[in-house]
Structure 1
Amino acid sequence: MAGFHPAAVEVSGGNLVLVIVVALIALGALAMAYLFRSEVLAAGEGTANMKNIAQAVQEGADAYLQRQFRTLAIFAGVAFFVLLALPADDLTVRIFRSVFFIVGAVFSAAVGYLGMSLAVRANLRVAAAANEPGGREPAMRIGLRTGAMVGMLTVGLGLLGASLVVLFFQDEAPDVLEGFGFGAALLAMFMRVGGGIFTKAADVGADLVGKVEQNIPEDDPRNAATIADNVGDNVGDCAGMAADLFESYAVTLVAALILGSQAFGDKGLVYPLLIPAIGALTAVAGVYLTKPKVGEPGLTTINRSFYLSAGIAALASVVLSFVYLPTSFADFEGLAGSNTLELISGQPEGNPALIASVAVVIGIVMAAGILALTGYYTGTEYKPVKDVGRTSLTGAATVILSGLSVGFESAVYTTLVIGAAVFGAFLLGGASLTISLFAVALAGCGLLTTVGVIVAMDTFGPVSDNAQGVAEMSGDVSPEGAQILTELDAVGNTTKAITKGIAIATAVLAATALFGSYATSSIEALDEAGALDELTGFFVFDPSVLVGVLLGSAVVFLFSGLAINAVARAAAAVVYEVRRQFREIPGIMEGTGRPEYGKVVDIVTRDSLRELITPGILAVFAPVAVGFGLGVTALAGFLAGAIGTGTLMAVFLANAGGAWDNAKKLVEDGNHGGKGSPAHEATIIGDTVGDPFKDTAGPAINPLIKVMNLVSLLIASAVVSTSVGEDENDVLRILIALVSVAIIAGAVYVSKQRESNLGDDVPLADKPV
């Protein structure tokens, strides 16, 4: 068994009623998602030309996701049977752990697909609204309602899955939920990597040929990569990010419920569900209480929505904590007796209601702090982005250097905020390791109360970006409407960066809690094997731990390198195809010839699906290789290294990319020479470097560290049993490790041998005539 409990935990009586209420709230959130979708679809669709362009984007996005899901179905099928083979308390748990692995994967896919499906219909509605007199507020409202639909879908499916598992499986719920979280995380990682490669290959290729070489606007219909670029915004930023935030939601709940059953007994299986349920209600309040005001900056409106819902959630969570939880651990019914953790750390002390409420508030405050920090480092109105924009006057090299500096610096301060939240929550547990780890998980639950608004903020970005693309490609939007869409696009760039920062924080809290679950599982397995003396190997100065830390850090670097290199290869193919079309199709530049948009869509679809395999194999098999090859303590170090390095790397990549993107927007707004100037070309190059940073490698690190933690949690008892005790089998564990290493090495080797489909007739240095 991956988790363990101090006593049998039964959810009955009032607690059972509360879980049913949570399930009903989840269904209510899904109903609100349907309502928001209806509001968006009721808006005007604009001209026939705008509809035709949006239809092409819809068809491309739908075709890509269907092909991606067919590919991922193979991985899901293999993982289903592998989970069946892993140890658990009984056969029923093993079966339903695998079943809910599929449920988690399907829910993650559904959030991504349905979010994308609405986003590709909302873009022309936002463009049409902006084209009307006084259209700024209606356009912004449509964008926010689209995001609200995805947010409610995320909250509703996450709560529904977790509450149903608790309802039907009681004390076995944490073990079954491991499968649910693993399915959500694995599918989200694949969607993040695949969608990120798709969108950034198209974006980089379109910018390099269209903007730099041909000096035409970003979404000019003469550029063969424009449709693929707009499709990519939806499969990457909508479908990928929605799936990412859903799995963050699911995995955080999994970690909280695993630790909650150990820390608070039956109430520990209910309380972590109640907090996000409050968040579902406050997210709806945030959507309806916040309306765009005439002349108010768009980011101010969106931030107000976040702070309002976060403040209400914090207050409601504190009240709930003191109403629902006892003020003494002696009053808990599900904590009879001692367990291994209490023997090595200490008995729980303090006020459970106070500990829980402070932990939840810490998570909410951390989200607000990261929102402010990320907004400062990536917003067009603040000094960091203005400084990056100013360096464009001296060329692309200084733009890149200044953007790297912003990324490095912001990673430090963001990590300090996350670290303070994790350590502050951990200290709440006092002498009891179980309570301390549960407090960290509850901080993650506090952050979950803001997820509905966070997803809305994130989806607003690609919708506004696509709306500008539809407007520019159609040519049917007035100059005033185009300016509104440009402003909303810049706001969307900042909200995307902000939500990436908060998603990273969620990932760290969830991974830390899962890391704690891994530690408790390992300790229990060692106790059962009569090998508690092996605990000395967990000391940080043990060489196996240090080697594990290095390997965990190395995996993050390798994963990032593979993702960025995949974008580079696919983008090169796009560049060659767009150049070929400019050269060979008569009349493109004059507007009399029609580019072959479908060929570019085919290129990035094929390359993105081909390239997502290797990072996925690395994430799944690296912890298996380390655990079985070097032991349970090395695997602990591996997870610590991955969490630490992954946090810094993800923030660095996301914020550097966001700063470069908005520096380009500053220049395009008329600063430093405006569009077509040398400064503009310099910022375009900075933006193309930042594209795979912020939209491919950076966001994919979030599910990476959670997938590796979940894999480690699932294999922990098997690693211990084959390493020590009566079932020790060095031959078997070394064989498993060697096979895992061989699979990773083979996948990386095959990836390195691939070359882009560049064609035979165009030398790299040549440009189209």
Structure 2
Amino acid sequence: MNLVILAPIGAVVALLFALITGKGVMKKSEGSEKIKKIAGAIRRGANAYLKRQYKGVAIFFAVVCVILIFMAVAGFISPFVPVAFLTGGFFSGLSGFIGMKIATYANSRTVNAATNSLNAALRVAFSSGTVMGMVVVGLGLLDLSIWYYILNAVYAGLPEAERIAEITSAMLTFGMGASSMALFARVGGGIFTKAADVGADLVGKVEAGIPEDDPRNPAVIADNVGDNVGDVAGMGADLYESYVGSIISTAALAVAAGLGVQGVSLPMAMAAIGIIASIIGTFFVRSKESASQKELLFALRKGVYISAVIIAVVSFFLVRYVLGPEHIGVYFAILSGLVAGIIIGYYTEYMTSDSYKPTKKLADSTETGPATTIISGLALGMKSTAVPVIVVVASVLISYFAASAGAPADSTFNMGLYGVGISAVGMLSTLGITLATDAYGPVADNAGGLAEMTGQPPEVRERTDALDSLGNTTAATGKGFAIGSAALTALALIAAFTDEVAKIPGAGTIDLSIMNPPLLMGLMVGVMLPFLFSSMTMNAVGKAAQSIVMEVRRQFKTIKGLMTGEAEPDYESCVDLCTRGAQKQMLPPAIVAVVAPILVGVILGPSGVVGMLAGATGCGFMLAVMMSNSGGAWDNAKKYIESGAHGGKGSEEHKAAVVGDTVGDPFKDTSGPSINILIKLLSMVSVVFAAFIVNFHIL
């Protein structure tokens, strides 16, 4: 039996569950008219931003599509690639858009639920995240399924081995569309949200001394809009791309490993089983009233752990049935990826949650001012790279040797690479619920803002603050999970690139010796790219934030009665400034990501591209972890002080923590999470342009 059929079935189940869960959220009451009014403003701002972003992205996609059509006419790529590029981008953008829509409807309902109990508020926010998670995995598998069956029909006349090779080669390229959309969503949304956040904090909290989310702050609506367009729409598009990228790269490696249609069906069937396991896990997310941060974290983690156990058990029988007992080592590759994802998530939680020593020590450093706060935060982030790197290295080694054990001598290497790819699928198999715990965070953050702006009773603020602080930690663990999965996916894509090159007539053998000058030069360029990319995105946030700072200062000075609450600020002007700044600044980093592999390939050839991909993957993985964890720890150190430690709100320690958090904002929400898309987009572009590089390189 060809178990590929499980993919469309799983996609339908995920989308139906998302629909049912979304309807359940929408049935909840939004509360008072004041809550509805402010929630409506956030909703309109998010819709306006995405509408403008998609118009700009459409131009980019049109230009690239025309280039791909010319390449298809010239015979460098399959004629299906331009269409696959567009569908990949469309579904990636759609998943983020749907997630953003439900999040902007759930924030007000979470606040209203918090008037009843902490668990009620947790369930509403988590249900919103569940919609995001299920839409991402559902649309991802739907896109894969549609293309598989279309291509299977087109190449029906070919022998099975040739047919599967043609199918996987064509499917591999639509990941470029998903990667491109994810990069725009992450970078653009990240610039928007952090420009608003930095502007609101610097002028509101530091200069004016007013609380976070104070309705007198003109940037407060833009800040809440940014949570949705950056941390929901951006994250959804990002993990959609990781999800489909891991599946299609593993399917492509199955051909080289000689596993045929069985090897292709395994990752798709794994994804379908992961959807069912994630749905089961969502029913176990519950919390008691007055739960501590550790108890709230466990409430969310319980669902993830139960899903992981289900997958660990079922995948054993799945591998044995699909590949046979002689390839049972592939099961241990899946298990290694699954366990690696859980370890990275837990370790990120340990490094960034204020329930543990690292973030508490970072809060202690605020006693001597902002400088020591920044130094300590950077040191924490750098230190935090060690465990994730060791875990990923161990997972790759286990996956490679477990999958290749017992394989014939001529297929040992390719079976090992297939093991690395399937371990990435294992890590992402719980994505439906893992993303739910991540996308829950921005909803809780928005709920806290709404509670502050609408003057809710103290007990409601306590509940939303608890959920908000938890959301900071789950967002940090989600980013760690995304970065770890990106590293494994990128490794599989590098192998897929070498396989694509090997299929091209006249390509010859790629010299992978470290002393090969093109490869060594490519390696150095690859190591540089994440730094260049991060510089561009950080600078973009800085420029956009400057305009917000000036606008907020202007309104504080010129609008009479604003500081006394007698007049309302002009929220729309800040939303518009953030939107225009994000649209203007997001294009240059995206161009670098698309153009770099083509230039390196034309100058240094295929071996130079392999070096560049390896350098960018290694460097990007560590830089992304460092930036994400530094930013998450700074944020939670601030929250820890606001809860009463070190003098609480308004103290000198609090002001130092706010400065650290301001530096960390673009670290954790713009540059850091964008790097994992960068390393995968570099690989995807390299695969698509492989034939062009082989035929036109200089060295």
The correspondence for 1:394, drawn from 368, 388, 393, is 368
Report the equivalent of 1:479. Answer: 458
Which whole-Å CA distance do the structure 2 matches of 1:413 and 1:20 have between them? 38
- Residue range with higher mean Cα deviation, 460-469 or 313-322: 313-322
Partner of 1:298: 296
Matches within 5 A, 1:92-111: 94-111=78-95
Percent of matched pairs sharing the same residue: 42
Q: Deviation string for 1:44-68 (max 9, x for gaps)?
A: 1111001000000000000000000
Match of 2:311 in 1: 313
Match for 1:675 among 645, 649, 659? 649
Aligned residue among 591, 612, 619 for 1:638? 612
Q: Which residue of 1 aligns with 2:506?
A: 529
TM-superposition CA deviations, 1:286-322 (whole Å, max 9, x none)? 0013322344421110111111111111111111111
- Alignment check: 8 A CA contact 2:169 2:500 kept: no
Matches within 5 A, 1:655-674: 655-674=629-648
Q: Deviations over 1:402-447 (max 9, x none)?
A: 1111100001211111121122212232552211111111001101
User: Paired residues, what number?
Assistant: 677
Paired residue type of 1:240 = G
C-alpha contact (below 8 Å) 1:588/1:594 kept by paired residues: yes
Alignment-derived partner of residue 60 in structure 1: 45
What is the CA-CA distance between 1:654 and the residue it aligns to? 0.2
Residue 206 of structure 1 corresponds to which residue in structure 2? 200
Give the deviation of 1:82 after TM superposition: 2.0
Matched, 1:600 2:574: yes
The equivalent residue for 2:172 is 178
CA distance in 2, matches of 1:269, 1:261: 8
Say yes or no: does 1:130 pair with 2:110. no
Could you say what secondary structure the match of 2:29 adopts? coil
Corresponding position of 2:415: 435
- Deviation of 1:722 after TM superposition, in Å, equals 2.7
Q: Secondary structure, in 3 states, of the residue corresponding to 1:44?
A: coil
Runs of at least 5 residues in structure 2 that lack an aligned partner in the other structure:
153-163
Amino acid corresponding to residue 118 of structure 2 in structure 1: R
One-letter amino acid of the structure 1 residue matched with residue 178 of structure 2: A
Residue type matched to 1:360 in 2?
I
Q: State how far apart, in whole Å, the 2-side matches of 1:293 and 1:674 are.
A: 26
**Cα offset, 1:705, TM superposition:** 0.6
Q: How far did residue 508 of structure 1 move? A: 0.7
Find the aligned partners of 1:409 and 1:712 in 2 and give their Cα distance.
32
- What does 1:489-500 correspond to in 2, within 5 Å? 489-500=468-479
CA contact (8 A) 1:628 1:719 kept: yes
After superposition, what is the alpha-carbon deviation per residue over 1:648-668, rounded to whole angstroms, capped at 9, x for unaligned?
000000000000000000000
Residue equivalent to 2:550 = 576
- Kept in 1, the 8 Å contact 2:111–2:448? The answer is yes
What RMSD in Å do the two structures reach over aligned CA positions? Answer: 1.5
Aligned partner of 2:560 among 561, 578, 586: 586
C-alpha distance in structure 2 between counterparts of 1:37 and 1:591, whole Å = 36
Deviation at 1:211, TM superposition (A): 0.3
Conserved? CA contact 2:483–2:676, under 8 Å = yes
Q: Tell me the residue number matched to 2:155.
A: none
1: distance between equivalents of 2:120 and 2:97?
A: 25
User: How far apart are the structure 2 equivalents of 1:638 and 1:21?
Assistant: 37
Alignment-mate amino acid for residue 585 of structure 1: I
| Partners of 1:159 and 1:468 in 2: CA distance | 34
Residue 196 (structure 1) aligned with residue 170 (structure 2) = no
Which residue matches 2:527? Answer: 553
Counterpart position of 2:268? 273
| Alpha carbons 1:166, 1:269 under 8 Å: kept | no
Name 1:76's counterpart in structure 2: 61
Distance 1:397 1:509 in 2: 36
| 1:284 aligns to 2:287 (yes or no) | no
Q: Judge which range, 634-643 or 282-291, deviates more.
A: 282-291
Report the AA paired with residue 244 of structure 1: D
| Contact map agreement 1:260 1:272 (CA 8 A) in 2 | no
Offset at 1:530? 6.9
Judge conservation of contact 1:155–1:249 (CA < 8 Å) in 2: yes
Q: Residues of 1 paired with 2:174 and 2:309: CA distance? A: 30
| Aligned with residue 485 of structure 2, among 495, 502, 506 | 506
Whether 2:252 is the aligned partner of 1:258: answer: yes
Residue 359 in structure 1 maps to residue 359 in structure 2? no
Q: How far, CA to CA, are the matches of 2:71 and 2:425 in structure 1? A: 28
For 1:531 and 1:122, how far apart are their aligned partners in 2?
56
- Displacement, 1:90? 7.2
1:145 maps to: 127
CA shift in 2, pair 1:246/1:531, >3 Å: closer
1:465 aligns with 2:445: yes
- AA of the residue aligned to 2:273: I
Distance in 2 between the 1:77 and 1:232 partners? 27
- Distance (Å, rounded) in 2 between the aligned partners of 1:638 and 1:233: 33
Partner secondary structure for residue 427 of structure 1: helix
Counterpart amino acid of residue 650 in structure 1: A
Name the aligned partner's letter for residue 513 of structure 1: A
Q: TM-score by structure 2 length?
A: 0.95
The alignment status of 1:517 with 2:489, answered yes or no, reads no
My pick for the range that moved more, 498-507 or 257-266, is 257-266
Give 1:669's aligned amino acid.
Answer: S
Is the CA contact (8 Å cut-off) linking 2:7 and 2:141 kept in structure 1? yes
Q: What code does the residue aligned with 1:67 have?
A: R
In structure 1, what is the equivalent of residue 587 of structure 2?
A: 613
The separation in 2 between residues aligned to 1:86 and 1:669, in whole angstroms, is 58
Distance 1:371 1:696 in 2: 19
Contact 2:277/2:310 (8 A) holds in 1:
yes
1:115 matched to which residue of 2?
Answer: 99
1:409 equivalent to 2:403? Answer no
Note if 1:165 corresponds to 2:147: yes
Q: Residue 96 of structure 2 contacts residue 235 of structure 2 at CA under 8 Å; is this kept in 1?
A: yes
Q: Aligned equivalents of 2:74 and 2:59: distance in 1?
A: 27
Checking the alignment, whether the CA contact within 8 Å between 2:593 and 2:678 is kept in structure 1 is: yes
Amino acid at match of 1:308: I
Query: Aligned partners of 2:14 and 2:429: how far apart in 1?
Result: 13
CA distance in 2, matches of 1:79, 1:273: 28
CA contact (8 A) 1:262 1:268 kept: no
Cα distance change on mapping 1:531 and 1:149 into 2, 3 Å: closer
- Structure 1: unaligned runs, 5 residues or longer: 1-13, 328-350, 724-729, 735-769
Whether the aligned pair in 1 keeps the contact of 2:187 and 2:586 (CA below 8 Å) is: yes
The residue number in structure 2 matching 1:7 is: none
**Bigger Rg, which one:** 1
Alpha-carbon distance, 1:250 to partner? 1.2
Report how far residue 214 of structure 1 moved.
0.6
What does the per-residue CA deviation read over 1:121-152, in whole Å, with 9 as the maximum and x for residues that have no partner? 101111111122xx100000011111111111
Shift of 1:326: 1.9
Greater mean alpha carbon deviation, residues 191-200 or residues 625-634: 625-634
The residue that corresponds to 1:343 in the other structure is none
Q: Is the 8 A contact 2:118 2:288 kept in 1?
A: no
Separation (CA, whole Å) in 2 of partners of 1:612 and 1:398: 32
**Shift of residue 84 of structure 1?**
2.5
**Paired AA for residue 151 in structure 1:** G
Cα separation, partners in 2 of 1:634 and 1:43, compared to 1, 3 Å? same
Q: Distance in 1 between the 2:396 and 2:301 partners?
A: 24
Structure-1 residue corresponding to 2:159: none
CA contact (8 A) 2:216 2:565 kept: yes
Structure 1: distance between partners of 2:384 and 2:91: 33
State TM-score, norm by structure 1: 0.86
Distance 1:174 1:478, change over 3 A: same
Contact 2:501 2:507 in 1 (8 A): no
After superposition, the C-alpha distances for 1:720-745 in whole angstroms (9 at most, x for unaligned) are: 2234xxxxxx5xxx9xxxxxxxxxxx
Q: Which amino acid aligns with 1:273?
A: M
